[in-house]
Amino acid sequence: MTLSRRHIIGGVLVGTAGLVAPRAFAAVRSTDAPDLLPQAKAALDAHASRIRHRDVVGLVDFSQPSRNPRFQIVDLSSGRILQTYFVAHGRGSDPGNSGFVERFSNRPGSNASCRGGFLTASTYYGKHGRSGRLVGLDPDNSNAASRAIVMHGADYVNPHMARISGRIGRSLGCFSVPVHDINEVLGHLGEGRLLFASK
């Protein structure tokens, strides 16, 4: 079995999780361009008329297990990862609660994550506090807005759970991050930027 550099790095992060403070995961930085960046740049070009800001993008690498911080904020000019966060996937994408995304769905009621490019839209205050609306830009996520797929904070997304259980909780398809990180995430992405998710 061959291991990619990404899998080795992910294993190191998990292996050292107990040695660092939980908040330290949100400060992971790297000079390496992330694996999904070429796909995100292609999405930026494909949807250039709808994406106003091209300074940073959000990347969610659903090939990684949920125990890893797999949501990256990337500076487009340098390709550097500025911040990394934990992020949940949908229950419908992981029916066995293994911590791995098994499938995507754009179907209403699926409770699954969907992939592709999303336009970050306005923020609002709902049952999860401050949240960010998302507009699906691709056929694989065209129902995101009507499904209320958003970015929000959630108690079930936290480093302690990742260490103890080997996974974090699941959402109903939303990009849920730790409660203490949501304001920072929304500050980075704001309105009119790209969030790109795939595996």
Whether residue 45 is predicted with pLDDT greater than 60 in this model: the reply is: yes
Residues 54-68 pLDDT 10s:
999 999 999 999 999
| Residues forming beta bridges with residue 152, ordered by sequence position | 131, 176
Nearest-angstrom CA–CA distance, 64 and 77: 25
Q: What is the pLDDT of residues 152-180, one digit of tens each?
A: 999 999 999 999 999 999 999 999 999 99
What's the Cα-to-Cα distance from 147 to each of 103, 134, 140, rounded to whole Å?
A: 17, 10, 13
- Domains of the chain are 5-198 (2.40.440.10)
Nearest to 134 by CA among 148, 146, 120: 120
**What mean pLDDT do residues 66-79 have?**
96
Give 124-143 pLDDT, tens digit per residue. 999 999 999 999 999 999 99
Q: What value does the mean pLDDT take over residues 72-97?
A: 97
For residue 73, what are the contacts with CB-CB under 8 A and spacing of at least 6?
A: 56, 57, 58, 59, 81, 82, 83, 84, 85, 185, 188, 189
- The pLDDT of residue 18 is 37
Percentage above 90 pLDDT, the chain: 82
Residue 47 has pLDDT above 90, yes or no: yes
What average pLDDT score do residues 69-87 get?
96
**DSSP secondary-structure letter at 92?**
G
- pLDDT value at position 34? 75
Q: Whole-number mean pLDDT of the chain?
A: 88
Per-residue pLDDT reduced to its tens digit, 92-112: 999 999 999 999 999 999 999
**Tell me: the pLDDT tens digits for 6-39?**
443 444 343 433 333 333 334 444 446 678 999 9
147 with 173: CB under 8 angstroms? yes
Tokens at residue 93, please? 């994408």
Q: What is the residue-wise DSSP string for 58-118?
A: EEEETTS-TTS--EEEEETTT--EEEEE----BGGG-TT--SS------STT------EEE
